[in-house]
Amino acid sequence: MPDDRTVLRTEADIVVARQIGRAMAVQLGFSPGDATLIATAISELARNVVQYARQGEVLFTTVSIGGQQGISVTVTDEGPGIDDVAAALQDGFSTSGRLGLGLPGVRRLMDELAIDSKPGHGTTVKVKKWKR
């Protein structure tokens, strides 16, 4: 299955990213419930890009280790970055006045999460979900 990529600039792009991720998950044989979890995580990450960085991109890839298949989603932007990644991963932390469930929620929905962020230079978030 080929990699896929989409640009994030608008609310409509968030929907497209979500649809691509769900379709890829279904093609890989994820359950409908897991496909929804993946789509929800993508939606949250994409929304963060549109809200905080104004634009970025999502790269969708299939991954395989020891016969186990999964999906990897990498979201990148060149926005303001995250000043304190550890704080941003805590429930209730928000710089926008919202509930602060975004990144902690994504961490709960996916099997793996890695964040590389440099204030003033952007953020890359990579998440993976493995098929059970």
Residues 33-75 pLDDT 10s: 999 999 999 999 999 999 989 999 999 999 999 999 999 999 9
| Spans of all domains in the chain | 4-130
Q: What is the mean pLDDT of the chain?
A: 90
Query: E strand or H helix at 39, and its extent?
Result: helix 32-48
Neighbours of 46 (CB within 10 A): 26
CB 77 within 8 A of CB 47: no
Is the domain defined by 4-130 classed in CATH 3.30.565.10? yes
Nearest to residue 126, comparing CAs of 47, 41, 50?
41
DSSP state of 102: H
CB 58 within 8 A of CB 74: yes
